[in-house]
């Protein structure tokens, strides 16, 4: 298929979501304005919302079927396999230099003072820097807060041949190209900041990725995780028993409810009903042509009560989840072997789900979403976040390009001309996004459908020796 065709098909899909966000939100506002004596108006609005929702589901279902029958599915699957194989070969090549003693190295410490998702994202960032600077990544993980014995007892070592760096010759970032060993700080204190940090993807893969994938940066991150998370035998066995014990099977929606220490500090509280509205909507979209789909969710949380609450409130749902795992995720028991098994299993099962409903403010759900990309040619649309759009902690600015001009209609909106770049801060999921026009510096709201994502690319090594 042509690039234009794929971009258009995906743009229509996401804008069906946007037009529905817009109308349902505006109609909701109108309904609130109805006085108690206007019961009939309220009823009318409800009817419009009801049929409108059905209409939207029908459209989304049709667009998905269009993808299945347009004759390019076999190509998409093959292209996804080829690209992933290529990336995995490159990472393997980078991590297994023929002459380890003389290979240039980048040292990365796993034990950043934060949660599992945050630590893994830290390692992915190191790995990207390693890839961009052609250095073998050395992962220091002894005394890991989740598992004292270190990374290699849980996942395969990041190298088969080259696991140590000569500490005596270590220099700090940025150092020089010819220095044998560099030590990388956390992304927040990286100075200077290179252009290859997320959200940039490598220039050599960009044309293929833009055609294949709805959000190439998520694919790119997912490939590093795919390499990193190759399980040790014991971990693999644990994942398989865990999955079987819970009775995890498809179709299934993965729901992640992040509570405890996150609420009120880094994220807002969301009631289970908010998540379930989107879950139900997903199933109704699958069912639009009359097929009946069993209601099943996999529910992961750091608050065990959520699982019980959901089971009580949604008896028509099969709710797969382990309250014991959720209990161990509490801050006081979080950094233990049992809790580590729990979070690895939860992220694994979330990533295996058909669709994710969660808050992207949590690194747990973003990580599941990233891994999910390794399981489909394009899983960019398989999520509903109740808060943030996708981002990578410490990323460079995220821009969208204006494709339809906009004249601000009130003090909250911004002017936009086609071609303008808008630094996007977030999507309000009501038809509008928030951002700053980089040309005028004006900040505020703009209709989400009037922009397209700007995919940032950067020249990176080609790893030609890794082709075979």
Q: Which residues bind ligand GDP (CB under 6 A)?
A: 114-118, 256, 258, 262, 300-302, 325, 329, 334, 339, 342-343, 346, 362-364
Written as six digits, the tokens of 425 are 């801060």
What is the DSSP code (8-state) at residue 254?
E
Beta carbon nearer to ligand GDP, 205 or 364: 364
Least spacing, CB of residue 183 vs ligand GDP, in Å: 22
Nearest residue to ligand GDP, scored by beta-carbon proximity: 115
Q: Distance between CA atoms of 294 and 317, rounded to whole angstroms?
A: 8
Beta-ladder partners of 400: 422, 453
- Work out the number of other CB atoms within 10 angstroms of the CB of residue 81: 11
Q: Which residue's CB is nearer to ligand GDP, number 56 or number 334?
A: 334
Terminal C-alpha separation, the chain? 27
* Four-residue CA torsion sign, 316, 317, 319, 320: positive
Query: Please, which residue, 117 or 202, has the CB nearer to ligand GDP?
Result: 117
Nearer to ligand GDP, 339 or 379 (CB): 339
Q: Is 141 exposed, middle or buried (0-12, 13-18, 19+ CB in 10 A)?
A: buried
Q: How far is the CB of 116 from ligand GDP (least distance, A)?
A: 3
Shortest spacing between CB 302 and ligand GDP, in angstroms: 4
Q: Minimum Å distance from CB 412 to ligand GDP?
A: 29
Tell me how far, at minimum, the Cβ of 217 lies from ligand GDP, in Å. 18
Note whether 301 and 343 are within 8 A (CB): no
Centre a 10 Å sphere on the Cβ of residue 224 and count the other Cβ atoms it contains.
23
Starting at the earlier edge strand, list the strands of the sheet with 421-427: 443-447, 432-437, 421-427, 399-402, 451-453
Which CB sits closer to ligand GDP, 256 or 296? 256
Cβ atoms of 418 and 404 closer than 8 Å: yes
- Pinpoint the alpha helices (H) of 267-426: 272-286, 304-313, 323-328, 337-352, 363-372
- Nearest approach in angstroms of CB 241 to ligand GDP is 16
**Phi and psi torsions of 446, nearest 5°:** -145, 150
Neighbours of 281 (CB within 10 A): 17
Give me the least distance between CB of 348 and ligand GDP, in Å please.
11
Measured from the CB atom, the residue of 118 and 466 that comes closer to ligand GDP is: 118
Which has the closest alpha carbon to 24: 44, 39, 42, 45? 45
Confirm if 352 and 248 have CB atoms less than 8 A apart: yes
Question: What is the nearest approach in angstroms of ligand GDP to the Cβ of residue 271?
Answer: 17
Query: In angstroms, what is the minimal distance from the CB of 151 to ligand GDP?
Result: 15
Nearer to ligand GDP, 94 or 272 (CB): 272
Rounded least distance, CB 388 to ligand GDP, Å: 11
196 or 369: CB nearest ligand GDP: 369
Measuring CA to CA, which residue among 443, 303, 377 is closest to residue 81? 377
Q: Which is nearer to ligand GDP, 162 or 325 (CB)?
A: 325
């Amino acid at each position: 298929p042509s690039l234009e065709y794929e971009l258009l098909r995906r743009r229509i899909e996401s804008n069906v979501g946007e037009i529905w966000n817009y109308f349902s939100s505006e109609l909701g506002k109108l309904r609130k304005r109805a006085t108690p004596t206007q019961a009939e108006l309220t009823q009318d609005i409800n009817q419009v919302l009801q049929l409108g929702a059905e209409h939207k589901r029908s459209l989304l279902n049709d667009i998905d079927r269009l993808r299945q029958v347009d004759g390019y599915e076999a190509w998409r699957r093959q292209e996804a396999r080829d690209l992933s194989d290529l990336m995995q070969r490159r990472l393997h090549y980078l991590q297994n230099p023929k002459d380890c003693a003389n290979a240039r190295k980048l040292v990365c410490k796993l034990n950043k003072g934060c949660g599992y998702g945050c630590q893994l994202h830290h390692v992915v960032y190191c790995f990207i820097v390693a890839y961009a600077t052609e250095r073998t990544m050395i992962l220091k993980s002894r005394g890991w807060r989740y598992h004292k014995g270190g990374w290699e007892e849980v996942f395969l070592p990041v190298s088969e041949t080259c696991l140590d760096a000569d500490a005596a010759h270590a220099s700090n970032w940025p150092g020089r190209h010819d220095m044998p060993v560099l030590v990388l700080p956390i992304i927040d204190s990286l100075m200077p900041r290179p252009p290859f940090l997320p959200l940039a993807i490598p220039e050599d893969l960009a044309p293929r990725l833009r055609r294949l994938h709805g959000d190439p940066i998520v694919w790119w991150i997912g490939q590093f995780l795919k390499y990193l998370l190759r399980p040790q035998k014991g971990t693999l066995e644990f994942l398989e028993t865990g999955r079987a014990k819970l009775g995890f099977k498809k179709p299934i929606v993965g729901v992640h409810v992040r509570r405890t220490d996150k609420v009120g500090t880094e994220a807002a509280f969301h009631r289970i009903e908010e998540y379930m509205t989107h879950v139900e909507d997903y199933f109704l979209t699958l069912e639009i042509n009359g097929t009946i789909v069993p209601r099943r969710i996999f529910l992961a949380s750091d608050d065990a009560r959520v699982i019980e609450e959901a089971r009580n409130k949604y008896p028509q749902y099969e709710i797969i989840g382990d309250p014991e795992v959720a209990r161990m995720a509490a801050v006081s028991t979080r950094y233990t072997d049992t809790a580590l098994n729990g979070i690895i299993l939860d992220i694994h099962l979330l990533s295996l789900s058909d669709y994710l409903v969660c808050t992207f403010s949590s690194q747990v759900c973003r990580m599941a979403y990233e891994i999910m990309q390794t399981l489909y040619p394009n899983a960019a649309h398989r999520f509903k976040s109740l808060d943030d759009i996708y981002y990578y902690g410490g990323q460079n600015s995220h821009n969208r390009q204006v494709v339809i001009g906009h004249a601000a209609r009130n003090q909250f909106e911004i002017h936009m001309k086609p071609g303008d770049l808008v630094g996007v801060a977030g999507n309000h999921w009501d038809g509008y996004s928030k951002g700053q026009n980089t040309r005028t510096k004006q900040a505020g709201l703009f209709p989400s459908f009037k922009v397209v994502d700007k995919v940032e690319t950067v020249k990176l090594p080609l790893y030609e020796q890794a082709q075979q």
